[in-house]
C-alpha cells in the first residue's frame, strides 16, 4: 500500500485525516495523494464550477423546448445532405462530453432520452421518392446508406456515450452491431471487401454500399415546400435548388478516405469489449490507406476502385470522386463555384490507429510527408507565397496564403514533437501551456459563458414551430459550451462533430457517486503538457467538506502515470489511475511524469475493471 501524505501534519484535523486516509488505502492498492494545503479558490476554479452548472441549466431549457416526452425532435423529418437524420441528433452535440466533465446527471438523462427517441423517430421516418430509405431512414438503428461526412455527424453523440454510460445495455448492443456493419458480420450490409481492404462506396450503412452513381434526389431527399415555410441553412430558396446543389455529386462508387471515420465504431467496440477482432480490422483498414499514400507518391488518393486500384472508379484519376481532391461544384445558394473536399477527415482513422498501437509514429508520418509534398507546389503571387489545397485535371489550384496542413493541431497533439508545431500559428491555449498567455483560462471561460447566454437568447427569439422547423434549425442554438473545459480541465482537444472519440491527457471520476466527471466542488487546470509529463492543479472549492477524485491518465486510460511531485515530495504511481483526496478548501499543483499510449485503452469504468 502506497500513500503520499501531503496533509498539514501538525494540526489535529490533519492527523485525523491521515488516519482515515490510511485506513481507506487498505481496501485497494491504488496510490492516494492526500492534499491538505489551503488554497483560496482561484477565479478560474469558481468559473469552471459555475460554467458546468450554467451549461446544464441551459441544456434543460433547450431540451424542454425542442424535444417531446418520447425524446423525439420537434421538427419535420427529412432525408438528405442539406437536412436529415444526422442533423437531428446533432442538436445534442457535446452533451456526452459535458456530462463526462462533471455536469449534472440531468445532462446524461436528457441526451440518453434523445438518442433513444432519435433511433425510433428516424426508423419510423420514411422517404417516398428516395429509393433506399423507403422502408425507413434508419434500419437496425443506423443510417441505411450515406456518406461519412453525414454518418459521422449523426454518430457524434452516440460515439461519446461510452464516456459516462458504457454499462448501458442499448449502448453495448449498438456498439457491437454498428461496428459489425463494417466487418461483414451482417449479410445485409456487405460494406467491406477484405480482399482489397476497401469500403466499397462513399454511400454505405446498414443496408450496405450504393454501387451505382448517386443522383441529386439521393442527396437532397424528397420534394418539400420551401418558400414561406422553411429557411434552409445552405442558402437555397426552392427544392429545385436543393436538388441542383447535389446534381454533380455522382461518383460515389469505390472507397474514399472519409470512410476512415467508420474506424471510430471499431475502436469503441474494442474499448468496450476488449475483443481483438475490432482492433485487427481497424489496423488492417488504416494500414491499407497508409500504403495507398505511399503508392500515390505521398498523397492520399480520393478514390479507390472496386478492384483495389487507385482512381479505379474515376477513370484512373487519383483525385477524382465526390468530395475528392478535384471536387469543385456550383452552389446555387451561393451562386458560385465552391471547393468541397472531405478526404482530409480520414485523419481520424490514423488517430485511432495511433492510439491502439501505443503511439506508432508510422500512422502520422505519411500525413507529415503529404504536407511537404503538397506545399512543395507553392507559387509566388503578387509577392506572396501561396499554397495549393486542390488538384484537378489542370494540376494544383485553390491557392491560399496558409500552408496546406489539415488537422495540424491534432497531429501535434498526438506527437508532441516540436517539428509538428510549425504547421499552425499562434494558438491561445498552446500559448498558455507554453507560459505565454497567463490570462487565457479566465478569458476562455468567459467566452463560453457568453456563448451560453447568446444561444439561450436565440432560443427565446426562435419563432419556428414543429411544422416549420427543419432538423438542423436548432443546431446553432444548442447551448452546450465545452471548448474551454476540454482544454483547461482535461488537457484535451475537441473531437469535432465527425463521430471521433475524445483525445485528452486526463479524465476524472467521482468514486463516491460512482460516475464519470469531476466531483461536485472540485476544479482542475492543466497548466502544462509535454511528451512525458504534465502539470495539473486541483482545487476543492468547498470550504467545509473534503472531496475525493479519481484522476485517469488519458480519455480511456491509454496513458500511464509514472511519478507525482507535490511541494517537493515524490511518489511512485506506475498506474493509469491515481486517487487524490482534497481536504476542505485545499488545493495543490501536481507535476506528473507520464508514459503516453502505454496502456490498452478501455471505456470500462474504474470500479468495474
Q: For residue 566, what is the domain's CATH number?
A: 2.60.40.1180
Indicate whether 86 belongs to any domain. Answer: no
pLDDT at residue 386 above 50?
A: yes
Higher-pLDDT residue of 29 and 536 is: 536
Quote the strand ranges of 382-433, DSSP E: 384-386, 390-392, 395-397
Residue 33: inside a domain: yes
What's the Rg (C-alpha) of the chain? 25
Query: How confident is the model over 410-419, as a mean pLDDT?
Result: 97
Residue 370 lies in a domain: no
Q: Which range, of 111-125, 177-191, 418-432, 476-490, averages the lowest pLDDT?
A: 418-432
User: 31 CB contacts (<8 Å, ≥6 apart)?
Assistant: 2, 3, 4, 564, 571, 572, 573, 575, 578, 579
User: Quick check: 526 and 491 in contact, CB under 8 A?
Assistant: yes
Low-confidence winner among 187-196, 230-239, 521-530 (lowest mean pLDDT): 230-239
Model confidence at 440, in pLDDT bands (50, 70, 90)?
Answer: very high
Number of domains present in the structure of the chain: 1
Query: Worst-scoring range by mean pLDDT, 12-21, 114-123, 371-380, 460-469?
Result: 12-21
Show the domain range for 566. 3-45+506-608
Kindly tell me if the per-residue pLDDT of 23 is higher than 70.
Answer: no
- Tell me the mean pLDDT in the region 504-527: 98
Q: Is residue 32 part of a domain?
A: yes
* 40-44, 106-110, 167-171, 335-339: least confident range: 335-339
The verdict on pTM exceeding 0.75 is yes
Residue 241 included in any domain: no
3-state SS class at 343: helix
Across 343-367, average pLDDT: 97
Mean pLDDT of the chain: 94
Of the candidates 294, 390, 305, 306, the one whose C-alpha atom is nearest the C-alpha of residue 344 is 390
Q: Can you spell out the DSSP letters for 434-501?
A: TTS-TTHHHHHHHHHHHHHHHHHHHHHH----GGG-BTTTTGGG-----HHHHHHHH--B---SSS--
Give the model's pLDDT for residue 259: 98
User: Rounded mean pLDDT of 335-348?
Assistant: 95
Residue 159, domain member (yes or no): no
Residue 131 is assigned to a structural domain of this protein? no
pLDDT at 26 over 90: no
* Average pLDDT of the segment spanning 80-85: 94
Confidence of residue 234 (pLDDT cuts 50, 70, 90): confident
pLDDT, tens digit, 9 for 90 and up, residues 185-197 = 999 999 999 999 9
What is the C-alpha to C-alpha distance for residues 461 and 226, in angstroms, rounded to an integer? 21
- For the cut 80, the answer to whether the pLDDT of residue 1 exceeds it is no
The verdict on residue 459 lying in a domain is: no
Q: How far is CA 539 from CA 43, 356, 504, 574, 592, in A?
A: 11, 33, 20, 23, 16
Q: Give 534-545 pLDDT, tens digit per residue.
A: 999 999 999 999
Amino acid at each position: 500500500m502506497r500513500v503520499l501524505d501531503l496533509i498539514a501534519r501538525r494540526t489535529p484535523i490533519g492527523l485525523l485525516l491521515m488516519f482515515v486516509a490510511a485506513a481507506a488505502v487498505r481496501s485497494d492498492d491504488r496510490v492516494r495523494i492526500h492534499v491538505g494545503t489551503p488554497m483560496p479558490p482561484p477565479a478560474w476554479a469558481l468559473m469552471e464550477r459555475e460554467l458546468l452548472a450554467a451549461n446544464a441549466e441551459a441544456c434543460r431549457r433547450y431540451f424542454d423546448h425542442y424535444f417531446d416526452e418520447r425524446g423525439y425532435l420537434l421538427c419535420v423529418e427529412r432525408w438528405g445532405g442539406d437536412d436529415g437524420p444526422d442533423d437531428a441528433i446533432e442538436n445534442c452535440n457535446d452533451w456526452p462530453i459535458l456530462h463526462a466533465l462533471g455536469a449534472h446527471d440531468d445532462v446524461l438523462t436528457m441526451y440518453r432520452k434523445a438518442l433513444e427517441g432519435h433511433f425510433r423517430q428516424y426508423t419510423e421516418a420514411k422517404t417516398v421518392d428516395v429509393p433506399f430509405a423507403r422502408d425507413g431512414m434508419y434500419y437496425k438503428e443506423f443510417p441505411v446508406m450515406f456518406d461519412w461526412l453525414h454518418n459521422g455527424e449523426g454518430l457524434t453523440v452516440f460515439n461519446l456515450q461510452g464516456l459516462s454510460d458504457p454499462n448501458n445495455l442499448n449502448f453495448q448492443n449498438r456498439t457491437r452491431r454498428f461496428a459489425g456493419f463494417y466487418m461483414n458480420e451482417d449479410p445485409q450490409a456487405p460494406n467491406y471487401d477484405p480482399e482489397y481492404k476497401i469500403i466499397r462506396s462513399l454511400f454505405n450503412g446498414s443496408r450496405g454500399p450504393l454501387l451505382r452513381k448517386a443522383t441529386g434526389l439521393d442527396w437532397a431527399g424528397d420534394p418539400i415546400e420551401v418558400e414561406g415555410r422553411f429557411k434552409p441553412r445552405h442558402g437555397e430558396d426552392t427544392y429545385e435548388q436543393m436538388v441542383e446543389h447535389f446534381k454533380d455529386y455522382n461518383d460515389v462508387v469505390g472507397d474514399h478516405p472519409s470512410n476512415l471515420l467508420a474506424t471510430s465504431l471499431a475502436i469503441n467496440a474494442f474499448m468496450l469489449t476488449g475483443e481483438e477482432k475490432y482492433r485487427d480490422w481497424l489496423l488492417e483498414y488504416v494500414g491499407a490507406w497508409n500504403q495507398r499514400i505511399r503508392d500515390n507518391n505521398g498523397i492520399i488518393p480520393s478514390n479507390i476502385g472496386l478492384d483495389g486500384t487507385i482512381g479505379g472508379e474515376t477513370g484512373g484519376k487519383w483525385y477524382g470522386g465526390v468530395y475528392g481532391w478535384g471536387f469543385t461544384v456550383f452552389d446555387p445558394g451561393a451562386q458560385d463555384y465552391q471547393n468541397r473536399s472531405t478526404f482530409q477527415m480520414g485523419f481520424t482513422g490514423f488517430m485511432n490507429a495511433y492510439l491502439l498501437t501505443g503511439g506508432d509514429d508510422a500512422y502520422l508520418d505519411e500525413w507529415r510527408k503529404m504536407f511537404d509534398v503538397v506545399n512543395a507546389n507553392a507559387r509566388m503571387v503578387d509577392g506572396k507565397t501561396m499554397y495549393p489545397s486542390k488538384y484537378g485535371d489542370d494540376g494544383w489550384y485553390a491557392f491560399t496564403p496558409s500552408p496546406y496542413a489539415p488537422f495540424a493541431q491534432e497531429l501535434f497533439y498526438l506527437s508532441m514533437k516540436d517539428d509538428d508545431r510549425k504547421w499552425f500559428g499562434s494558438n491561445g491555449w498552446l500559448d498558455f501551456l507554453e507560459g505565454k498567455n497567463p490570462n487565457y483560462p479566465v478569458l476562455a471561460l468567459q467566452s463560453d459563458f457568453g456563448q451560453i447566454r447568446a444561444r439561450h437568447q436565440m432560443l427565446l427569439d426562435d419563432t419556428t414551430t414543429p411544422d416549420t422547423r427543419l432538423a438542423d434549425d436548432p443546431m446553432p442554438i444548442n447551448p452546450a459550451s465545452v471548448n474551454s473545459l476540454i482544454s483547461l480541465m482535461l488537457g484535451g482537444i475537441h473531437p469535432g462533430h465527425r463521430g471521433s472519440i475524445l483525445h485528452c491527457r486526463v479524465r476524472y471520476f467521482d468514486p463516491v457517486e460512482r460516475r464519470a466527471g469531476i466531483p461536485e466542488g472540485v476544479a482542475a487546470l492543466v497548466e502544462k503538457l509535454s511528451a512525458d509529463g504534465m502539470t495539473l492543479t486541483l482545487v476543492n472549492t468547498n470550504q467545509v467538506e473534503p472531496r475525493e477524485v479519481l484522476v485517469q491518465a488519458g480519455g480511456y486510460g491509454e496513458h500511464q502515470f509514472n511519478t507525482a511531485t507535490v511541494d517537493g515530495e515524490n511518489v511512485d504511481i506506475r498506474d493509469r489511475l491515481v486517487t487524490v483526496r482534497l481536504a476542505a478548501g485545499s488545493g495543490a499543483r501536481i507535476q506528473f511524469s507520464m508514459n503516453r499510449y502505454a496502456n490498452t485503452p478501455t471505456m470500462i469504468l474504474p470500479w468495474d475493471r
